[in-house]
């Protein structure tokens, strides 16, 4: 068993339209179990459009990479949904990442972009924002229905923000999962757009876990999800 001083840090990477707040429940469970975690704020999730070009996936990857560089010791990166795209880009050249965990996430290869995975053509312009109320995404239902109370769903939905269009289409230039040990977590009841491709993404992973919940199991079932992370951590080979 790893001693507390030797344990890796979990770096939690949120998906599109969200922020670090999405991980608070999981972080509370991890802290009680004696584990350290950190989060990032991806700049592609913004409150209002400013000057173009707005931040995209590469900007998100740069934030993740800087955070990795700032962490002393080994890290297990946990990426959710869209967050898997910039995390894949960021960990490729990091030296302290022991493992990357994809949670209902996009585990893309070089040349692939998130929306292209669904057959959506790249628009002529990557300017602008995509609102969280987009009916094609159906975010509240896909993320929370059946797992959270009405008040919890309303609270989480109120915190959603627009996502830059640029982030949806920018393509991976380096696939970190090809060199970094990895796992994929599939929620049992994921009805989001990511859920439609989870099995094909998971086929790329070294190991696959399944857990209860919809698209965000760490939000709805933080204790069960923490158990998965600790199992992964117990098996991880830490960089020396």
Q: What is the pLDDT of residue 192?
A: 80
Is it the case that residue 214 has pLDDT exceeding 90?
A: no
Q: What is the pLDDT of residue 94?
A: 97
The pairing of beta strand 9-13 with beta strand 75-80: parallel
Number of independent structural domains in the chain = 1
Q: How does residue 127 score in pLDDT terms, banded at 50, 70 and 90?
A: very high
Q: Give a yes or no: residue 102 inside a domain.
A: yes
Q: How does residue 240 score in pLDDT terms, banded at 50, 70 and 90?
A: low
Higher pLDDT, 4 or 200: 200
Q: How does residue 209 score in pLDDT terms, banded at 50, 70 and 90?
A: very high
Pair 32, 94: CB distance under 8 Å: no
Residues of the chain with pLDDT > 90, as a percent, come to: 70
Tell me the mean pLDDT in the region 99-115: 97
Sign for the CA dihedral angle at 170, 138, 209, 228 comes to: positive
Q: Give a yes or no: residue 8 inside a domain.
A: yes
Pair 68, 90: CB distance under 8 Å: yes
Q: Give a yes or no: residue 14 inside a domain.
A: yes
Q: What is the pLDDT of residue 124?
A: 92
For the range 144-147, what are the long-range contacts, defined as Cβ-Cβ under 8 Å and sequence gap of 24 or more? 144/214, 144/216, 144/219, 144/220, 145/214, 146/189, 146/214, 147/189, 147/213, 147/214, 147/216, 147/219, 147/220, 147/221
Higher pLDDT, 139 or 9: 9
Q: Give a yes or no: residue 240 inside a domain.
A: no
Higher pLDDT, 160 or 38: 38
- The tokens describing 224, both together, are 């069960």
Least Cα distance to 236 among 35, 32, 22, 24 occurs for 35
Alpha-carbon gap, residue 13 to 40, rounded angstroms: 6
Is it the case that residue 88 has pLDDT exceeding 80?
A: yes
Question: What range defines the domain where residue 159 resides?
Answer: 4-235
Residues of the chain with pLDDT > 70, as a percent, come to: 90
Q: What is the pLDDT of residue 132?
A: 74
Q: What is the pLDDT of residue 116?
A: 94
Q: How does residue 2 score in pLDDT terms, banded at 50, 70 and 90?
A: low
Is it the case that residue 81 has pLDDT exceeding 90?
A: yes
- Computed over every residue of the chain, the mean pLDDT equals 90
Higher pLDDT, 5 or 159: 159
* Strand, helix or coil for residue 38: strand
CATH number of the structural domain spanning residue 37: 3.40.50.1820
Q: What is the pLDDT of residue 130?
A: 85
Q: Give a yes or no: residue 116 inside a domain.
A: yes
Tell me the mean pLDDT in the region 174-202: 91
Q: Which string of b and e fits 49-87 if b means at least 16 CB within 10 Å?
A: eeeeebbbbbbbbebbbebbeebeebbbbbbbbbbbbbb
Is it the case that residue 97 has pLDDT exceeding 70?
A: yes
Tell me the mean pLDDT in the region 30-52: 92
Q: What is the pLDDT of residue 148?
A: 63
């Amino acid at each position: 068993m790893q001693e507390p001083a030797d344990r890796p840090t979990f770096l939690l990477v949120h998906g599109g339209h969200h922020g670090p707040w999405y991980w608070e429940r999981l972080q509370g469970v991890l802290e009680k179990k004696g584990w350290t975690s950190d989060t990032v704020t991806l700049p592609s999730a913004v409150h209002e459009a400013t000057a173009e070009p707005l931040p995209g996936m590469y900007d998100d990857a740069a934030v993740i990479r800087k955070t990795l560089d700032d962490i002393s010791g080994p890290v297990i990166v946990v990426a959710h949904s869209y967050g898997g795209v910039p995390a894949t880009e960021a960990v490729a050249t990091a030296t302290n990442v022991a493992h990357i965990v994809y949670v209902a996430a996009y585990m893309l290869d070089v040349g692939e972009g998130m929306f292209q995975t669904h057959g959506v053509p790249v628009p002529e312009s990557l300017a602008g924002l995509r609102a969280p109320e987009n009916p094609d995404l159906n975010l509240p239902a896909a993320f929370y229905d059946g797992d959270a109370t009405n008040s919890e769903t309303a609270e989480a939905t109120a915190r959603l923000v627009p996502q830059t269009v640029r982030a949806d289409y920018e393509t991976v230039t380096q696939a970190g999962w090809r060199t970094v040990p990895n796992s994929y977590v599939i929620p049992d009841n994921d009805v989001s757009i990511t859920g439609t491709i989870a099995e094909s993404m998971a086929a790329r992973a070294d190991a696959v876990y399944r857990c209860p919940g919809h698209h965000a199991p760490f939000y709805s079932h933080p204790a069960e999800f923490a158990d998965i992370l600790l199992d992964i951590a117990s098996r991880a080979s830490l960089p020396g």
